[in-house]
């Protein structure tokens, strides 16, 4: 059964504020109203055109950000027009307002927002910095995600997800990789999000930095191998499936045609490695990770050998001496 994909259609203003108040420097400027309003798009909007009276294509589902440009424009308007333009924007059921650069709304505009039940926040951040940071954080919150059973490690810059049947040795393989300098991202439950064109893996907060080793129990990876042996997240570059020794004939023996594994609609390079008594699985995964790193740099070892073989055969030697 394929893992269930989790999607987020909207979040409340309260969720947004509680999750990002510290990182975005947000403070509540007015009364605590409208915290149940929904943010339905993972982006910010500067309502300059709306305040000028143009509401076609107005992004009303986004957080509205007022910077120096918007505030300066409002101040130059006659007071009745200023209040009317601001009220017309609030009539669109916007989720909330953020006033940047440590500025505030004048009391009349603040009252309009309060009458509409729209929360107003302030931040000392420069407008563009706030827009960029807030958009990235919202994209993470809205990103589709899936939880998979396996181990995720960072092996020399290559994000490797190790999967396989229960008891195939995923955690033991991850321990072997840690002893070779890898960093643990997640063990057992791996959360994967599609953010900004990349698949990014992380761990549930409760289990971050811990592993379960059969016969030993729960271990704290940072305490055993040092703080550098864990990391909060990593881009997924390679999926490794550990297969029983009995399925050895099904495993690719040349590597010319790379297999892929689909996660959240994205194709990830996939390698199948047979496991059995006496096989150093961690070493095999290390080689697979290094091979993937070389392929990303444009060097393909299997293709190089194939080209040498074809050249040898075309020179009249056939397969003799190969």
pLDDT score for 253: 63
User: Can you spell out the DSSP letters for 191-207?
Assistant: EEEEETTEEEEE--GGG
| 320 domain residue, yes or no | no
Mean pLDDT, range 98-114, rounded to an integer: 95
Q: Return the structure tokens found at 101.
A: 């650069």
Are residues 95 and 56 both part of a single domain?
yes
Mean pLDDT computed over 41-57: 95
Indicate if 156 belongs to the active site: no
Of 46, 85, 170, 231, the catalytic one is 170
Q: Would you say residue 312 lies in a domain? A: no
For residue 313, being part of any structural domain is answered with no
Same domain (yes/no): 240, 135: no
Whether 322 maps to a domain, the answer reads no
Looking at the structure, tell me whether residues 120 and 173 fall in a common domain. no
For 200-234, how does the pLDDT look when each residue is reduced to its tens digit (9 = 90+)? 999 999 999 999 988 899 999 999 999 999 999 99
Q: Are residues 134 and 153 in the same domain?
A: no
- Residue-range definition of the domain harbouring residue 134: 5-141
Residue labelled with tokens 């989790």: 6
On the 0-12 / 13-18 / 19+ scale of CB atoms within 10 A, 11 is middle
Q: From the candidates 116, 188, 279, 312, which is the catalytic residue?
A: 188
> Which run of H or of E encompasses 254?
none
Domain boundary among 120, 141, 162: 141
Q: What share of the chain is helix, strand, coil (3-state, %, to 5)?
A: 40, 30, 35
- In this structure, are 208 and 290 located in the same domain? yes
Q: Are residues 132 and 150 in the same domain?
A: no
Q: Give pLDDT, residue 318.
A: 59
Phi and psi of 28, rounded to 5°? -80, 120
132 and 172 housed in the same domain: no
Strands 217-220 and 145-155: unpaired
320 catalytic residue (yes or no): no
Neighbour tally for 226: CB within 10 Å = 11
* Arithmetic mean of pLDDT, 88-99: 96
Give pLDDT, residue 191.
Answer: 95
Q: Which of 6, 75, 149, 308 is catalytic?
A: 149
Judge whether 309 lies within some domain.
no
Q: Is residue 76 part of a domain?
A: yes
Query: Do residues 175 and 294 both lie within one domain?
Result: yes
pLDDT one-digit tens code per residue, 55-64: 999 999 999 9
Once rounded to an integer, what is the mean pLDDT over residues 257-278? 90
Same domain, 66 and 209: no
Catalytic, out of 32, 214, 253, 320: 253
The DSSP call for residue 255 is: -
Instruction: Please tell me the distance from the alpha carbon of residue 11 to that of residue 23, in angstroms, as a whole number.
Output: 18
Q: How many domains does the chain have?
A: 2
> Once rounded to an integer, what is the mean pLDDT over residues 280-288?
93
In this structure, what CATH number is given to the domain that contains residue 47?
Answer: 3.40.1390.20
Burial of 263 (0-12, 13-18, 19+ CB in 10 A): buried
Question: Do both 103 and 124 map to the same domain?
Answer: yes
pLDDT of residue 306: 77
Residue in 168, 161, 151 with CA at minimum distance from that of residue 276: 168
Which of 108, 141, 174 represents a domain boundary (last residue)?
141
Give the tens place of pLDDT for each residue, 25-34: 999 998 999 9
Check whether 319 has a pLDDT greater than 90. Answer: no
Q: What is the pLDDT of residues 234-252, one digit of tens each?
A: 999 999 999 887 666 666 6
The verdict on whether 115 is a catalytic residue reads no
Residue where a domain stops, chosen among 141, 168, 199: 141
């Amino acid at each position: 059964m394929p893992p269930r994909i989790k999607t987020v259609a909207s979040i409340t203003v309260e969720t947004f504020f509680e999750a990002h108040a510290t990182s975005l420097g947000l403070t509540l400027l007015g009364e605590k109203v409208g915290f149940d309003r929904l943010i339905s798009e993972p982006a910010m909007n500067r309502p300059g055109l709306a305040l000028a009276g143009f509401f076609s294509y107005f992004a009303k589902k986004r957080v509205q950000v007022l910077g120096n440009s918007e505030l300066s424009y409002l101040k130059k308007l006659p007071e009745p027009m200023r209040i009317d333009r601001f009220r017309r924007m609030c009539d669109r059921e916007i989720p909330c307002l953020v006033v940047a650069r440590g500025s505030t709304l004048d009391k009349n505009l603040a009252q309009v927002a309060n009458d509409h039940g729209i929360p107003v926040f302030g931040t000392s951040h420069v407008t563009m910095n706030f827009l960029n940071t807030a958009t990235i954080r919202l994209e993470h919150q809205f990103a589709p995600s899936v939880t998979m059973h396996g181990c995720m490690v960072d092996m020399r810059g290559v994000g490797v997800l190790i999967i396989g049947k229960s008891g195939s040795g995923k955690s033991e393989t991850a321990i072997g990789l840690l002893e070779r300098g890898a960093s643990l991202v997640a063990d057992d439950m791996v959360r994967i999000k599609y953010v900004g064109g990349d698949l990014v893996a992380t761990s549930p907060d409760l289990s971050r930095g811990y592993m379960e080793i059969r016969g030993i129990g729960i271990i704290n990876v940072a305490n055993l191998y040092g703080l550098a042996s864990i990391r909060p997240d990593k881009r997924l570059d390679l999926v490794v499936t550990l297969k029983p020794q009995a399925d050895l004939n099904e495993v690719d023996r040349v590597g010319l045609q790379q297999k892929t594994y689909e996660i959240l609609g994205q194709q990830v390079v996939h390698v199948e490695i047979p496991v059995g008594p006496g096989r150093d699985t961690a070493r095999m995964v290390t080689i697979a990770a290094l091979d993937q790193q070389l392929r990303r740099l444009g060097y393909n070892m299997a293709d190089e050998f194939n080209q040498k073989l074809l050249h040898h055969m075309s020179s009249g030697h056939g397969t003799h001496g190969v």
